[in-house]
Structure 1
Amino acid sequence: MGFNSLRDINSASSSWKIKDRVVRSWNGFPSNGEKLKGINILLLDEKKTGMHAYVPANLIKKHDKDVVDGSVYIISEFTVKDYKKEDKFRCINSEKQIIFTKDTECIKIVEDDLLIPKNIFDFYDLAELKEIADSNIYLKDVIGVIWKDQPLADLTNRFGKPQVKVKFTIVDTRTAVNVTFWDSMAEEFVAAKKKAKGHPIIIIIASAKVTYWEGTINKIRQIEISNAASTKFYMNYTDPRVMDIRKMLGTNAFEKFDFSSQMFETFQSFTVQQLKFLGKDYAKDGASNDILDIMKTIENRRLGFKLIIRDENIDKKSMVYQATGVYELFDSTHTTDMIEPSEDNNQPSITQASQSSYHIDDLSQMNFTTPPAEKKEEKA
């Protein structure tokens, strides 16, 4: 059975038959947001061609169960409409769209078709957004590392209606761009970020709206990414571009960005004594006989640590601190000399999740003996 490719169908006929995957779908509402206008679908075929399809409101009951994201369908008997020049916010770079009619048939394929990709992206570098901002004929796909983020915020818009938003910043190796998600997408972002594994998080924002924004105080025009109805985000998605960026995070490609605020501890806390009795389930790769000897250098000693308190320790109540020195504690009649870590051991750990910047294996080479205090000669 032959199928038409999305790149070949046109408005000259309605007797088309395609075999496509539903990449994602979303409800369409009018500007007043009152009544459901239709269902929107992003389709993708085995030739990696994508196209927007639309199910009008009067056909939703017939097809609402047919629209399952990720599934593959055989769709036949539909019309193809050419976009008008003024049609904005298209979810994909295409000049036409599919319109379901009362004659349209949509049959789900039970077995997945591995020849049809799971998704489709047309990425823009963040530096390119300056040239295309406010030109929203087509929405944009972008990718970046979450660098900074703010808590979910409540506000009242100019129409007196309550809204929520979340602001964060994404970066690539050269450019940082602010992002604002609104309403349900803001809430979804906050929830997904809490569950995400792998930090810092690499995020794909598909079909994003890119505009210029001018600050009320400094009046500086900035690029801002926000969500439209068709926007969807993916955190740490399985995609070659994500894997490439993850590899670069381990190099100096991102050296001008500090991701420490995005590194979250995922470990349990133990005392030195408790470490001795941990079972084999806690074992990690490494020298099995080293850890206890290292810990014995600080066991049963009154030591003080010089810590750096960062924003995340205050704002996010993080209990992970960067230690930059250690010294032995005595009574107030003695002075102490700070023992600073060597230059080689004081490396940032911005690409290592769940880990302090101060490594425990550094302690074995430290001298914990405090030299006698030097006393100045008293004046006669």
Structure 2
Amino acid sequence: MSFSKSHTFDELNDSTTYWTIWVRAQSIWKGVTMKTNKFRGYNIIFFDDTNSRIHAFIEPQICPKFEEELQEGCIYIIRNFSVKYYNRDETNRAIRNEKHIYFNQDITLKKDSEKVIRIEPQSFDLFLLSNVDKLKGDNRFLSDVVGLLEDSPTKIAYRKEKVEKHNVKFTLTDGRYYWTITIHLL
């Protein structure tokens, strides 16, 4: 496969459906109504090689076309989809992005088996605990605290192949387990 133009999430808008993106599926879940438990479609969180995230939605009528292909952690090439903007009143959004992808009949979704583009295996946000209280008051977005920093992050400089590089190390805990995290800065 030859590499063709890939669009960034910032470039996406509702003016056309001729978009191409390379993304990793971070989370996939079924949407159901709370009162009737009726299936409403699939929700997906995608992120790209810049660590930008976007929410995608698949209507129940076209879900069977994608059910076997979609897997969390896989990288996909997605073409020909709709982009919609959230209105100000929509609540419980999973991503702090003003737009989302809407799967339509013309969309193509293909696993990137040739590994044309490198996308990190995970994407997450770190917030100051003092900012979490502010987030709780904004019901437009969902938030979840999965851990707390145990110690202050430390920026470490090192040399690799005569080039100075940096990483940040810290410990994250959920109260039961502790993880040492290293983030390599570009």
Shorter-chain TM-score: what band?
A: 0.7 to 0.9
Q: Does residue 59 of structure 1 match 2:55?
A: no
Q: Does residue 245 of structure 1 match 2:171?
A: yes
Q: Given residue 64 of structure 1, which amino acid in structure 2 is its aligned partner?
A: E
Partners of 2:46 and 2:54 within 8 A in 1? yes
- Aligned-pair CA distance for 1:91: 0.9
When structure 1 is superposed on structure 2, of 103-112 and 3-12 the one drifting more is: 103-112
Q: Deviations over 1:197-248 (max 9, x none)?
A: xxxxxxxxxxxxxxxxxxxxxxxxxxxxxxxxxxxxxxxxxxx88x5025xx
CA distance in 2, matches of 1:135, 1:62: 35
Higher strand share: 2
2:41 pairs with one of 38, 42, 61: 38
CA distance in 1, matches of 2:29, 2:66: 13
Higher-RCO chain (CA-CA 8 Å, sequence separation at least 6) = 2
- Aligned-pair CA distance for 1:143: 4.4
Partners of 1:71 and 1:112 within 8 A in 2? no
User: Structure 2: where are the runs of 5+ without partners?
Assistant: 153-166, 179-186
Q: Does residue 84 of structure 1 match 2:10?
A: no
Residue 164 of structure 2 corresponds to: none
Q: Given residue 78 of structure 1, which amino acid in structure 2 is its aligned partner?
A: F
Instruction: Label 1:77 to 1:114 Cα distance change in 2 as closer, same or farther (>3 A).
Output: closer
Residue 52 of structure 2 corresponds to: 49
Q: Given residue 86 of structure 2, which amino acid in structure 1 is its aligned partner?
A: Y
- Aligned-pair CA distance for 1:114: 6.1
CA distance in 1, matches of 2:134, 2:38: 36
Q: Which has the larger radius of gyration?
A: 1
Please tell me the root mean square deviation across aligned C-alpha atoms, in Å. 2.6
TM-score normalized by structure 2? Answer: 0.76
CA distance in 1, matches of 2:133, 2:13: 34
User: Structure 1: where are the runs of 5+ without partners?
Assistant: 146-170, 175-239, 250-258, 264-350, 352-380
Residue 4 of structure 1 corresponds to: 7
- Aligned-pair CA distance for 1:73: 0.8
Q: How does 1:143-154 map to 2 (within 5 A)?
A: 143-145=146-148
CA distance in 1, matches of 2:94, 2:73: 17
Residue 342 of structure 1 corresponds to: none
1:108 pairs with one of 106, 111, 120: 111
Aligned residues: 160
Partners of 1:124 and 1:142 within 8 A in 2? no
Residue 118 of structure 1 corresponds to: 121
Q: How does 1:126-275 map to 2 (within 5 A)?
A: 126-140=129-143, 142-145=145-148, 244-245=170-171, 262=176
Structure 1 segments (4+ residues) deviating >6 Å? none
SS of the residue corresponding to residue 170 of structure 2 reads helix
CA distance in 2, matches of 1:115, 1:102: 28
TM-score normalized by structure 1? Answer: 0.39
CA distance in 1, matches of 2:12, 2:143: 24
SS of the residue corresponding to residue 40 of structure 1 reads strand
Q: Given residue 20 of structure 2, which amino acid in structure 1 is its aligned partner?
A: K
- Aligned-pair CA distance for 1:113: 5.5
Q: Deviations over 1:19-61 (max 9, x none)?
A: 1111111000012242211000111111221100001000011
